[in-house]
Structure 1
Amino acid sequence: MAMTHDEIFARVSAVLQDSFEIEADRIRPDARLYEDLDIDSIDAVDLLVKLKPMLDKPLKPEQFKSVRTIQDVVQALALLIDSDSAATA
């Protein structure tokens, strides 16, 4: 199931608002997870757990070790979702 970057961003934004109580106006593509949103390493793992339902395969934390911003998360998820779609096509 392919998703646009906007759809992925909306899902990530909803998780950040609902699970981490981050105000919507702070959630921008260039927002840095650690510095701007106070997402620590434990929160980052929790975020990945909450985003996993978007994928049809196991999520490996190392696939996200280089993410720094919301846009990085969106791009990493888009790559995984696209690879899922290609594998099932």
Structure 2
Amino acid sequence: MILTVLSALAEPTRFKAMQLLGDDTEHCVCELMKKLGATQSRMSRHMQVLKQAGLVVDRRDAQWVRYRLNPDLPPELAKVLDAVLALETEPERKVA
């Protein structure tokens, strides 16, 4: 399960979405789209990956889906998530 979580967080848009969700409130797809510059279909796909990894939960609100961090995340994964989200994002370095 840890590899699934880390793999989900490795993609920059999903990582940024998780940072936004780190404020412990719900965010609709429309808000995430605007803040991250993603289309609705692309943002929905990213959020589906995060949901399948067990990192987020969702609820339908009329035409939109709202996401928040999974409150039932196992403690060991919550610690990993906290550690990863605390990291500063650095530009990718090319390996020679």
Fold-level similarity (TM above 0.5): no
Structure with larger Rg: 2
Q: Higher RCO, 1 or 2 (CA under 8 Å, sep at least 6)?
A: 1
* TM class by smaller structure: 0.3 to 0.5
Please identify which structure carries the higher strand content.
2
Normalized against structure 2, the TM-score is what? 0.34
Please identify which structure carries the higher helix content.
1
Normalized against structure 1, the TM-score is what? 0.35
